[in-house]
Amino acid sequence: MRGVMQEKETKNKSFVLRLDADMMNAIEAWAADEFRSTNGQIQWILAEALKKNGRIGKRKGRPLPSPPQ
């Protein structure tokens, strides 16, 4: 199991995200309502926005194929 956790960790990138207090409070409240962590909620929001705008495929994290040129 430990190897799986280490493999998953290497696929995620960490970075600093600055949010104003009102936005952070809203995300924390939404996360609590959905029984998610704040980080999980932010990941879900971003994934949904990327799917909605055709930036990633339906499957988690899969980029859409490039259009033919």
Q: How many CB atoms lie within 10 A of CB 27?
A: 17
CB 48 within 8 A of CB 61: no
Render each residue's pLDDT in the chain as its tens digit; 69 residues. Answer: 555 555 555 688 999 999 999 999 999 999 999 999 999 999 999 999 999 999 988 665 566 566 565
Name the residue with tokens 């493999």. Answer: 7
CA angle 18, 22, 25 (to 5 degrees): 90
Helices (H), 1-69: 2-11, 21-33, 38-52
